């Protein structure tokens, strides 16, 4: 029932975005393109993931790519780098542009810049730490890479440009409980996410080990997708700290994407390991889902 409600919400958001997108283009500003571009971007991806889940399909990515030839597809390290680095490319374009526009150094103390730097910091770690340290993993199709890079390029530019240029905040927002709590939740999720990634990575014996093992330790004792749960917590903190539509939109997209992936992995673990897999372990949210 929850999945259908999420799908209905996503469909209504997509319809609203499309109706605005095909309106009078001549009157659009950069802000219009950013907001409605993100609305569309953060709607079609969750809808695609929910459609697959509701129809008992697995998105053709990672272990579900289904290649019969072990050399087919794109190497996981290369795939991950190419998929995530557009976030940093978009951010670099924005920050270099903003540096030229904002000659006054005090402009860089704005809350929006700190929010944007949280976004950039996440993807620096994902590209240059997680991506380069990736062990094993499955090869992925080019089609999935192209769709993913379209999403990340739009998202990287839009999130950083909006929060450094268009977002407005009240005086002393940086010291507010909302901002402080959001940043604290963001970094708690980020650290936990990388801890979970490390636990998963160390399950494999070597870089060529393609086997899957039962994850153990930390939040994996409670959920199969502990890494996905922690990433969702991370972007929840980002959304709270930003207090913007773009921040919450990206959280919504991440919630659905990681939630579906966690449930797919949970089903796959139970299918592979049968009675060996802990029966009381949930898929995504400890003690709940």
Name the DSSP class of 289. -
Phi, psi of 60 (to 5 degrees): -70, 75
In the predicted model, is pLDDT for residue 134 greater than 60? yes
pLDDT at res. 27 = 65
Q: Which of 227, 223, 271, 256 is nearest to 64 (CA)?
A: 271
In the predicted model, is pLDDT for residue 186 greater than 70? yes
- Average pLDDT, stretch 3-20? 49
CB contact at 8 A, 62 and 138? yes
- Average pLDDT, stretch 263-268? 92
- Average pLDDT, stretch 228-243? 97
pLDDT at res. 204 = 79
Mean per-residue pLDDT over the chain, rounded:
83
pLDDT at res. 71 = 67
- Average pLDDT, stretch 150-167? 90
- CB-based contacts of 243: which residues, under 8 Å, 6+ apart? 169, 178, 179, 182
In the predicted model, is pLDDT for residue 171 greater than 80? yes
- Average pLDDT, stretch 154-175? 91
Alpha-carbon Rg of the chain, whole angstroms? Answer: 20
Query: What tokens were used for 117?
Result: 């730097």
Q: Say how far apart CA 127 and CA 93 lie, in whole Å.
A: 17
Q: Which of 73, 48, 57 is nearest to 257 (CA)?
A: 48
């Amino acid at each position: 029932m929850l999945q259908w409600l999420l799908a209905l919400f996503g469909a209504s958001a997509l319809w609203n975005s499309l109706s605005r997108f095909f309106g009078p283009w001549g009157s659009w500003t950069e802000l219009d393109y950013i907001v409605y571009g993100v609305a569309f971007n953060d709607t079609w991806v969750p809808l695609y993931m929910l459609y697959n889940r509701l129809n008992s399909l697995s998105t053709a990515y990672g272990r579900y790519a289904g290649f019969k030839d072990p050399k087919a597809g794109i190497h996981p390290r290369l795939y991950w780098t190419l998929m995530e680095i557009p976030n940093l490319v978009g951010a670099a374009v924005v920050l270099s542009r903003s540096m030229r526009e904002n000659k006054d150094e005090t402009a860089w103390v704005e809350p929006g810049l700190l929010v944007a730097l949280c976004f950039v910091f996440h993807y620096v770690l994902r590209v240059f730490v997680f991506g380069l340290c990736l062990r094993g993993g499955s090869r992925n199709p080019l089609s999935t890479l192209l769709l993913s890079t379209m999403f990340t390029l739009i998202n990287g530019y839009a999130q950083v440009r909006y929060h450094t240029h268009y977002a407005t905040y009240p005086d002393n927002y940086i010291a507010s409980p909302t901002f402080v709590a959001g940043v604290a939740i963001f970094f708690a999720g980020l650290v936990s996410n990388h801890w979970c990634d490390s636990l998963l990575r160390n399950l494999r014996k070597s870089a060529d080990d393609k086997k899957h093992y039962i994850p153990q330790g930390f939040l994996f004792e409670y959920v199969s997708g502990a890494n996905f749960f922690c990433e969702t917590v991370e972007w929840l903190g980002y959304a709270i700290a930003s207090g913007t539509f773009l921040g919450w939109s990206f959280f919504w997209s991440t919630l659905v994407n990681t939630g579906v992936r966690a449930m797919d992995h949970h089903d796959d673990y139970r299918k592979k390991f049968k009675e060996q897999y802990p029966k009381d372990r949930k898929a995504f949210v400890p003690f709940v889902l």
